[in-house]
């Protein structure tokens, strides 16, 4: 799991969003960021999590958050996911897992006794100065927005 800790500076990165725009974490200095890592677009649990964030987007925005989702999927798959579920936030591609590795969220997983390498669903809350103030190592997808808002209050 992640080697990063609360109180540390969030590693910077630059990648493309679902629209092909270049996005860097440093672009969001001065804003609070929900940086959520998820395994794959349009899979059951990832969809539940994304839709929970979508359904509570206005509240998260009112609390001052920008939402950035990251998975190993490419921008074309992200665009389909965004359109299918009407997601109002940015999805970032990381097919080479460079950002995923920086945040330490790739590792061994176990599903029904079968071990494999994969992305550990993890969310980092980053303050206006780029410092991680909360890490959710196992976010609850159905109520993730509530978890975020509670941690921010």
118 forms beta bridges with: 107
pLDDT above 80 (res 2): no
- Quick: pLDDT tens for 9-29: 999 999 999 999 999 999 999
The stretches of the chain forming alpha helices (DSSP H) are: 44-55, 57-62, 75-85, 98-102, 144-152
Of the pLDDT bands very low, low, confident and very high (cuts 50, 70, 90), residue 66 is very high
Which pLDDT value is given to residue 65? 96
Cα separation, 98 vs 13, whole angstroms: 9
Sheet holding 132-136, edge to edge: 90-93, 65-71, 32-37, 122-126, 132-136
- Quick: pLDDT tens for 85-143: 999 999 999 999 999 999 999 988 887 888 988 889 999 999 999 999 999 998 998 99
Domains of the chain and CATH, by start: 14-152 (3.40.30.10)
Which pLDDT value is given to residue 1? 61
Burial of 123 (0-12, 13-18, 19+ CB in 10 A): buried
Query: What is the DSSP-derived secondary structure letter of residue 94?
Result: -
Given the structure tokens 């899979």, which residue do they identify?
Answer: 43
**Active-site residue, selected from the candidate residues 4, 10, 34, 46:** 46
Q: Percent of the chain having pLDDT more than 70?
A: 99
Residue 51 falls in the annotated catalytic set: no
């Amino acid at each position: 799991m992640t080697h990063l800790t609360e109180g540390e500076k969030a590693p910077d990165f630059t990648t493309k969003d679902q629209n092909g725009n270049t996005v860097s974490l440093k672009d969001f200095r001065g804003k609070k960021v929900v940086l959520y890592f998820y395994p794959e677009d349009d899979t059951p649990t990832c969809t539940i999590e994304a839709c929970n964030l979508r359904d509570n987007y206005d509240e998260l925005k009112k609390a001052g958050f920008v939402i950035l989702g990251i998975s190993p999927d490419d921008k074309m798959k992200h665009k389909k996911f965004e359109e299918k579920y009407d997601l109002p936030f940015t999805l970032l591609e990381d097919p080479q897992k460079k950002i995923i590795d920086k945040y330490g969220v790739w590792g061994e997983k176990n599903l029904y006794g079968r071990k494999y390498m994969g992305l550990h669903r993890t969310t980092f809350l980053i303050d206006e100065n780029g410092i991680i103030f909360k890490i959710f190592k196992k976010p609850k997808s159905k109520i993730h927005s509530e978890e975020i808002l509670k941690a921010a209050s």
